[in-house]
Chains A and B, each alone.
Chain A
């Protein structure tokens, strides 16, 4: 088994870049007040961006070729907020990578996250 750790930061513009790149302009991601109106701490990062971070880290854990990734599954358990730091811990065993994603307060932002190589 091998273990790697990757840290990713959600700078205040990250949800805006991700909105443009993904086409997901849901206002809860790009506008603080809209996020608060939806009962969130503010605007939150797209879960899919957190998942992209996990996927890219899993590709590295599997050897670095994106074509070797066969499957990935995650549960979004806690929103990623502006200025959050997400620590991704990847445990690889054979073709299977278990991914833990934890914010600076020790809360899981992803749960049951797993990637599989070909």
Chain B
């Protein structure tokens, strides 16, 4: 069943997220080349950018603190996209859903302690090659009101 384009423009949010130092470290390890997270306790985290986990390195950097890897934003910016794909009104078959495309425009880095608010809306619904496409755009701002990241999430729903 095709998705109904009448839902274009439907908005989701605001959703708030509190960024924490340990969560940022955990994310940095997950995307690093470390074989297992527990090895972090036993070895120097080679291949892990110091500004993502080391407070002294963060302080000495031009950012003045630890900052999150740019794609850490998935933790908070995804909220409106998830709400859209799980919205009973749309009726997306989540078992057939794949992440099709992704775009981020980065404004300010995320720091431990930041409170980030995200809003989003459905930008497009269309059909191509027997698949449904759902496009959600999101904007996240920090506690200072500064834009953090603009994201465009594209879901592909197979039939």
Contacts and interface: CB of A to CB of B under 8 A. Distances in A.
Interface string A11-25: 101100110111110
A113 to B, nearest CB: 10
B75 A22 contact: yes
Given A66-B51, A72-B104, A74-B102, A38 B95 contact: yes
Interface stretch (B23-31, B113-121, B123-131, B134-142): B23-31
A9 to B, nearest CB: 8
A72 B71 CA distance: 10
Contacts of B106: 69-72
Nearest to A39: B158
B6 to A, nearest CB: 27
B30 A11 contact: no
B123 to A, nearest CB: 15
Contacts of B83: none
Interface string B90-108: 0000111011111111100
B95 to A, nearest CB: 5
A73 interface: yes
Contacts of A76: 98-102
A74 B27 contact: no
A95 interface: no
A13 B98 contact: no
B67 to A, nearest CB: 6
Interface string A30-65: 000000011100000011110111011001000011
B147 interface: no
B27 A67 contact: no
B109 interface: yes
B74 A24 contact: yes
A18 B98 contact: no
A71 B105 contact: yes
Contacts of A70: 105-106
A73 B74 CA distance: 14
B105 A22 contact: no
Interface in B43-94: 49, 51-52, 61-63, 67, 69-71, 74-75, 78, 94
Interface of A: 8, 11, 13-14, 17-18, 20-24, 26, 28, 37-39, 46-49, 51-53, 55-56, 59, 64-67, 69-76, 79
